Amino acid sequence: MKTIILGITGSIAAYKAATIASQLVKNGHLVHCVMTQSATEFITPLTLQVISQHSVLVSLEDEKQAWKPGHIDLADRADLVIIAPASANTLGNFANGLAPDPLSSIYLATEAPVLIAPAMNGKMWMHAATQRNIARLEQDGCQFIGPEKEGMLACGYSGPGRLMEESKVVDAAEKLLHTSSKPPR
């Protein structure tokens, strides 16, 4: 049984995180969901709490119950961090070492492997700034899955940017869990 942090960011594809969380739980993992505030516009924390069977971290204000900050505790316990969907904003925060929310703070504090599944408008995906952020994150050791190279997007455009199919994200996570190990503390 592995501990997985599932980060959900502000993308119309955020609702697909419920399927990813459900499959990871069915596979026997402990799943802790962490949402950006903008993700809550697309799916409720309660949905993910029921599926994961753990409270959902959305704000640093949610961390007042314990002496150890929740984002540090989760970062320490994580065997894998998955960001699905990953917005352009979150990619920028990660690439530039910014931590305006619990998810970005976990990213900076964890030693676990990180799997990123981007989802955004194709023009945003292809923008030089986004591509620069992706290159930086790959240099930092992050693994990427997707986005799909072609397909209809929620904005009405056709092209790259769709979140990879949920089962492919779960398969990539399982493979990463079996091929990498977190450094001992």
The residues annotated as belonging to the active site are 155
Q: What are phi and psi of 143, to 5 degrees?
A: -100, 145
Torsion of CA 168, 85, 185, 52, to 10 degrees: -80
For residue 17, give the nearest of 42, 38, 28, 30 by alpha carbon. 42
Q: Which two tokens stand for residue 108?
A: 């900076």
For residue 17, give the nearest of 106, 112, 109, 117 by alpha carbon. 117
Q: Give the angle subtended at the CA of 106 by the CAs of 91 and 49, to the nearest 5°.
A: 100
Query: Count of residues for the chain?
Result: 185
Q: Which two tokens stand for residue 129?
A: 């700034």
